[in-house]
Chain A
């Protein structure tokens, strides 16, 4: 089944404790992206990747890191999480680079930083 998977689905952590949220797609998509969704602010893009080893900042990259060493994986790293990073996070992928194709979203990761 074609899908985007994220792990973990739920995470409660404390300020300053490094964490990684994994994202994997099995559709051989080139474009992958991370979003956060907050009430009243909508979906905001954190980072995106046009292909392996090519990443760029979205609108809200501060406090986050990403890497794209393999085509299928695009982990999101929070080196020192803070309470303002409490949010619902979505990973997405689309077939071609450029952001002009349909995006397929993962199920989401609900992160709480205490």
Chain B
């Protein structure tokens, strides 16, 4: 069964304290891995797509990386405005479903 697991569930950091969020996936064939950011009460917003192991993408203080079993979202010197829930998702294999992880709630303290 296709599955996406994110860890940790929640993370509190001081402003400027770098860390990484993890997304591990189990799919028969990876057709892309997506990272989204979600603010409370709002719809998720797209951050990155990764398609193959070794691929990396960056945007401001965020960098996403991909291996054959997991993806990391590295956050460098975060600011309070980076506080949000970060979601990862993969398309299923053999159908067109999309499977989301439960997300990591990130809170950056000033």
Which A residues are within 8 Å of any B CB, using their own CB?
A: 4, 31, 33, 35, 40-45, 48, 50, 56, 58-59, 88, 90, 92, 97-100, 102-108
Contact = CB atoms under 8 A, between A and B. Distances in A.
A97 B96 contact: yes
Contact of A48 (B87, B98, B102, B103): B98
B7 to A, nearest CB: 13
B31 A108 contact: no
Contacts of A33: 98
Interface in B69-110: 87, 89, 91-92, 95-103
Contacts of A106: 43
Given A56-B95, A108-B42, A42 B31 contact: no
Contacts of A31: 96
B101 A48 contact: no
Interface stretch (B11-19, B44-52, B60-68): B44-52
A44 B97 CA distance: 10
